[in-house]
Amino acid sequence: MRERGQFHAVIGMPEDFFKTSGKGGTHTKACLIVYSKGKNKKKTGKSLFMAEAKWCGHDSRGRKIEHDDLPKILENYFAFEQGRDFTQGRLGYIISTNDLQDNILSPRYYNPDVKNALLSVKDTHDIIKFGDLVESGVIEVKTGNEVGKLAYGTGDIPFVRTSDISNWEIKLDPKHGVSEDIFKQFTNKQDVRENDLLMVKDGTYLIGTCAIVSKYDTRIVYQSHLYKIRVLKPNIITPFLLLAILSSEPLQQQIKAKRFTQDIIDSLGARIYELILPVPKDKKLKKRIEDSVKRVIEDRVEARELARLACTEVAGGLAIAELID
């Protein structure tokens, strides 16, 4: 399409865009494209208008609401077309066609707010590409496996899915358990260890959510929609610092920008390697963050295990009572 014509604008629409009151609809993610066939001699086509709308004047049930980004986006687009200046941001920004990467035309991929957030901390943080850490052997990334629905409920080994990742923890009682045989089938391949990180790779709003594997969580099987991230050189970056960075606002903004939508399912995919990590330069600050995260994790895990023990003791007491009866 770029060879046979010219893109003028690509505008990301909210997922509520095609939802209409009383008529159903779909929350499929879509983009509005302004495109002309053939080469326009008057316009070189070296600039492209992009925007990402969050609101479209109605909610997911088709009810009218006050919030509507589309009029402002339209105003900014007309300014772009007429060569007038306008305040660039999420509701309208210009990129050079030379800056397009791999023919990616998703507006949120080039969200200027992400770049500005990183620029704001460049004096106090080292800006490191996630993929460079992988390439240099500081960290490694793997994905899980699917066991099939017939394996659900065959045992007590947790099969960890995206919905089981919350607040840096693997939930106490995952919805599905698998047998010891299935666990043995995957244990060497998955090789889950204490302080490994799990990050949601595919889904919707959970993408980018992280958890750290505690000493109580190593006997698990995790699904293919999760990354397993292992720190191999903690002298360069510890898993606790990495967990804090991956959960920070600058990283979450990047993850939102780099996830692509297929029908109604989003995926970060291999774009995880494009993430830029802002690592504090101040050694005392790094140590303070690491200690804080470690303390939070240890306290939560111990509280969780005490709760598990209490439930087990209650169940044991009931069993004894039944024997007495």
Instruction: Tell me what pLDDT residue 70 has.
Output: 94
Residue 273 CA: distances (Å) to CA of 107, 134, 317: 19, 8, 51
Give, as one character, the DSSP assignment of residue 1. Answer: -
286 sits in which H/E element: helix 283-324
Residue with tokens 């014509």: 5
Instruction: Tell me what pLDDT residue 43 has.
Output: 54
Instruction: Tell me what pLDDT residue 44 has.
Output: 52
Instruction: Tell me what pLDDT residue 202 has.
Output: 93
How far is it, in rounded angstroms, from Cα 270 to Cα 246? 16
Instruction: Tell me what pLDDT residue 307 has.
Output: 80
Instruction: Tell me what pLDDT residue 318 has.
Output: 56
**3-state class (DSSP) for residue 29:** coil
Q: How far apart are the first and last CA of the chain?
A: 78
CATH 3.90.220.20 residue ranges in the chain?
125-303
For 125-303, CATH number?
3.90.220.20
Instruction: At 43, give phi and psi (nearest 5°).
Output: -120, 130
- Mean pLDDT per 10-residue segment, the chain (325 residues): 90 83 68 87 74 87 87 96 92 92 90 83 92 97 94 92 91 81 95 97 91 94 96 96 94 90 82 95 94 92 82 66 57
Instruction: Tell me what pLDDT residue 142 has.
Output: 96
Instruction: Tell me what pLDDT residue 22 has.
Output: 56
Instruction: Tell me what pLDDT residue 41 has.
Output: 54
Instruction: Tell me what pLDDT residue 317 has.
Output: 60
The model's pTM is: 0.83
Give 98-151 as a DSSP string: GG--TT---GGGG-HHHHHHHHTTTTTEEEEEHHHHHHTTSEEEEE-----GGG
